[in-house]
Amino acid sequence: MKTILLAWLAVLMAGTAAQAAGTECIVPSKPGGAMDLTCKLAQKGLQTLPEHGGAPMRISYLPGGIGAVAWHALVSQRRAEPDTLVAFSGGSLLNLAQGKFGKAKADDVRWVAALGADYGMIAVRADSPYHTLGELVTALKHHPEQVLIGVSGTIGSQDWLKIALVVKAAGVDPKVLRFVALEGGGEAFTAMHAGFVQVVSGDASEATLYSTGGSTRVLAVLSEQRLPGVLAKIPTAREQGFDVVWPVIRGVWMGPQVPEADYRKWVGAFDRVLASPQFAQTRASYGLYPFSLTGPALTAYVKKAVDEYGKRASELGLVR
């Protein structure tokens, strides 16, 4: 009980500090992953606008419960903060659909902007014995106990589903796999490079960040066709005989009682950001691809996506 009270005290103090510090973007995971990248992309984009250029957005971290801590902090304690945004992804919507945020619903917050699209990927260390997705799946089929897979979140998370769908396509029961639940993509890659896990099931944008140093080998991207940029030489899962595609949207939302005028201000700001050629270049450098929705259009998309994720999760027996 004492630990819980201290955690909520920290949340309240963080809210007070945020109000004093001005504009804030909350990363609902530990530093280094794709959620972190989403806030940094929003920060970069807003800096191109005259009204935001002089006061850079502050980025803070509120990990826990695969996004649940940040969700409930804003919904219950920081409902009306007009200058606080929270990063989200398709994984957030999947968790919402599965009830991993409790009784939370898509209508509980205000959806501001989708900044781009990402895709799933499967990676190993550069010195791994696995050089193709097929080699990895063969190892998982015959000796699943010898391969630890790092994922952001728990069973049923989007990172879990990516690798689960890949092995299922090869006739392997995902239940035999050994997963390590981690808090964000940055932590997953850190665990892999330290040797605690042998595989990371994550996102292409994360792989873009961690593949440039030569310590990571990306085995496959879960896109319709090969991706441009840093990962241009990486084959798709489809090319390697596994018909799995996993797109991921990335964006920001805000508290449910933010005044309408402030909400419209942010929607308008991101409309201008998303229309900028400079932002398109920045988004590409972050390993993301065009996907632009704001305000009511994004809200409609989110509600539909949550419904569809819920149906898929129910079919797999994942909805509680």
Q: What angle do CA 276, 282, 284 make, to 5 degrees?
A: 105
pLDDT per residue as tens, the chain (320 positions): 444 344 444 444 444 443 445 899 999 998 988 899 999 999 999 998 887 765 679 999 999 887 899 999 999 999 999 999 999 999 899 989 988 898 999 999 999 999 999 999 999 999 999 999 999 999 999 999 999 999 987 888 889 989 999 999 999 998 899 999 988 888 999 999 999 999 999 999 889 888 877 899 999 999 999 998 889 999 999 999 999 999 999 999 999 999 999 999 999 999 999 999 999 999 998 889 999 999 999 999 999 999 988 887 776 667 65
d(C-alpha 174, C-alpha 149), whole Å: 12
Q: What angle do CA 211, 119, 281 make, to 5 degrees?
A: 70
- Whether CATH 3.40.190.150 fits 22-117+248-315: yes
d(C-alpha 93, C-alpha 251), whole Å: 11
Instruction: Give the residue among 93, 108, 98, 75 at the shortest CA–CA distance from 251.
Output: 93
d(C-alpha 289, C-alpha 306), whole Å: 21
- Whether CATH 3.40.190.10 fits 119-247: yes
Q: From the centroid of its chain, how far is CA 9? A: 26
pTM of the model: 0.78
> Domain limits of the chain?
22-117+248-315, 119-247
d(C-alpha 27, C-alpha 25), whole Å: 7
Strand partners, 218: 123
Same fold, 22-117+248-315 and 119-247: yes
Strand partners, 251: 88, 114
* Structure token pair of residue 184: 């964000």
3-class secondary structure per residue, the chain? CHHHHHHHHHHHHHHHHHHHHCCEEEECCCCCCHHHHHHHHHHHHHHCCHHHHCCCCEEEECCCHHHHHHHHHHHHHCCCCCCEEEEEEHHHHHHHHCCCCCCCCHHHCEEEEEEEEEEEEEEEECCCCCCCHHHHHHHHHHCHHHCEEEEECCCCCHHHHHHHHHHHHCCCCHHHCEEEEECCHHHHHHHHHCCCCCEEEEEHHHHHHHHCCCCEEEEEEECCCCCCHHHCCCCECHHHCCCCCCEEEEEEEECCCCCHHHHHHHHHHHHHHHCCHHHHHHHHHCCCECCCEEHHHHHHHHHHHHHHHHHHHHHCCCCC
Q: What is the pLDDT of residue 107?
A: 94
Q: What is the pLDDT of residue 75?
A: 94
Instruction: Give the residue among 93, 90, 137, 120 at the shortest CA–CA distance from 244.
Output: 120
Q: What is the pLDDT of residue 162?
A: 92
d(C-alpha 20, C-alpha 41), whole Å: 23
Q: What is the pLDDT of residue 316?
A: 66
Q: What is the pLDDT of residue 117?
A: 92
Q: What is the pLDDT of residue 268?
A: 97
